[in-house]
Amino acid sequence: MFKFVVLGSAAALPSKKHLPSCFALKHGSVYLFECCEGCQRQMMKYGVSYFKAKVIFISHLHADAFLGVFGLVQTLNLMGRTEELRVFGPKGTKKFLESALALNELKPFFKVIVKDANAGIVLEEDDFTVKAFPVKHNAPAVGYALEENEKTRFDEKKAKAKGIRGKMFTEISEKGRIRVGNKTVGLEEVTYKEKGVKVVFSGDTRQTERIEKESAGADLLIHDACFVEEHRKLAEEKFHSTAAEAAETAKKAKVKWLLLTHASNRYDDRSILLKEAKKTFENSLIAEEGLELEV
């Protein structure tokens, strides 16, 4: 199970109600997508352990996407962190963050490994991978696609027909085949493959075909929806997307759910963003701090 927690949902400017777009994935460890200013406080507020933070994925080097890194690192220093922390971001991230963290005032006592995320797989965990891909913003920027490994599931009907019961399921899982009576049964005879979970995070971006391609069949697409269609020209000038554009991408990619994020604070009532998206893609949601989604 993958649980996403919204830590921030706004565009670059924070407000009394919202912080810049930022998400935590709880899956054993904690994986952050963006690290906005005040990120660690949001983590405490919404039940996300900052001490379990393992990887930070930054989409671009505008301040709202990374300012929280420094505070988080300092808190982990004070808490006696020893495990390494990994940070991925677009071209220039390694040089920038390593230079900043080399300062005596910011230097961590634990290892922080920073890498530029070129297109392709940047992280391989036991049961999922994370891939970076280019998006269109007014600074070098990447989106991220998380894909769970294909899962092996037992076909109960077939297993029972082959005489597999109780502890035999564990045995055949471990050995690949077992003896049942006078016959040998292979694992492939009683199982099937199930597609893993797929979640895509666009980061700050204009609508692009690349996002549509990377999001194909995703369970969840988290997409920039800074403006409504009335302000599309502004979206184009600022290299952001409208809610309608995000919905159009979700529909073309045939995703299960769309989560709109990076909403401009010019909209006191965000329901207009959601209403606009739903005209094109019904399974649309709007990000709000504290919202949890399980996929």
Catalytic residue numbers read: 64
d(CA 102, CA 180): 62
Give the burial class of 74: count Cβ atoms within 10 A of its Cβ; 0-12 exposed, 13-18 middle, 19 or more buried: middle
**Cα 165 to Cα 92: distance, rounded to the nearest angstrom:** 56
The C-alpha atoms of residue 245 and residue 221 are separated, in whole angstroms, by 13
Alpha-carbon span 111 to 90, nearest angstrom: 20
Cα–Cα distance, 283 to 250 (Å, whole number): 9
Cα distance between residue 94 and residue 165, in whole Å = 53
Measure the CA–CA gap between 25 and 31, rounded to whole angstroms.
Answer: 5
